Amino acid sequence: MSDRHTVRRALVMAGVGGVAAAGLIGPGAASAEAAESCSDVEVVFARGTAEPAGLGRVGQAFVNELQNDLGGRTVSVYAVNYPASYDFLQSAPLGAADASGHIQATVASCPATSIVLGGYSQGAAVVDLITADPGATFGFGQPMPPAVAGHVAAVAVLGNPSAKIGSPLTAISPLYGAKTIDLCNGADPVCSDGDDRPAHSQYVETGLATQAAGFVSGKVSGHAPSDVMVNASTTVG
């Protein structure tokens, strides 16, 4: 079985898990109201397959924990606008285009804002497409301009399908790998060789969303995006 086919199979399993999570909890509240002025931190998060529009259950838990960890800093949130559908080869690239465009626009208008990029399940694959080495994304990659990386304080992916073939984002992204946490819940079949399907819907219960937020808050604390000046306004898409 090819790596590409293995990732696609993992995404199918991710869809099953996403439906289960949505059924247990219901729509995730998306606190994505745009700030009137530039925030200290902006979280850009892509939900999992078949979750209602917004951050999704895992994304909302991650954001809640991160806001608590960051204390007095202002935090704005953007929920990636994409179908998160079972047509993965169309859906994930659409998410990548939306996330990339939003991030580059934020860099252009708010260069001192520290950006946090995150995704769960298919949303993690969306993040892979814009941050990984294009050679590791089977021709579907839409990498952001290299200069954008200086404005991204941290990346958090959970239930990442690329990890199933031994390619976690920490290993396939020269620009973002060192500031990335890539978490797989035990024998979650979406991101491991295991067969514990319920594990894919338990990233909140097992504390991994909290762990991701802790990692990210540490990276944000030491980040100085204003040190990197970039004009990204002409590179969207």
Q: pTM for the full model?
A: 0.81
Whether the per-residue pLDDT at 225 is higher than 70: the answer is: yes
Active site residues: 121, 188, 200
- What pLDDT does 203 receive? 98
What are the chain's domains? 3-25+39-227 (3.40.50.1820)
Residues 6+ apart with CB under 8 A from 173: 128, 131, 132, 133, 155, 180
Residue 66 exposure: Cα atoms within 13 Å on the Cβ side: 34
Instruction: Give the model's confidence band at 14: pLDDT under 50 very low, under 70 low, under 90 confident, else very high.
Output: low
- What pLDDT does 226 receive? 47
Which residues on adjacent β-strands are paired with residue 76? 42
Token readout for 2 is: 């090819």
Please give the single-letter amino acid code of residue 168.
Answer: P
- Going by C-alpha positions, the residue among 120, 149, 132, 162 that lies closest to residue 17 is 120
Which residue is listed with tokens 């819907």? 201
pLDDT in tens, 16-64: 444 333 333 233 333 333 445 899 999 999 999 999 999 999 999 999 9
Q: Which residue has the higher pLDDT, 157 or 29?
A: 157
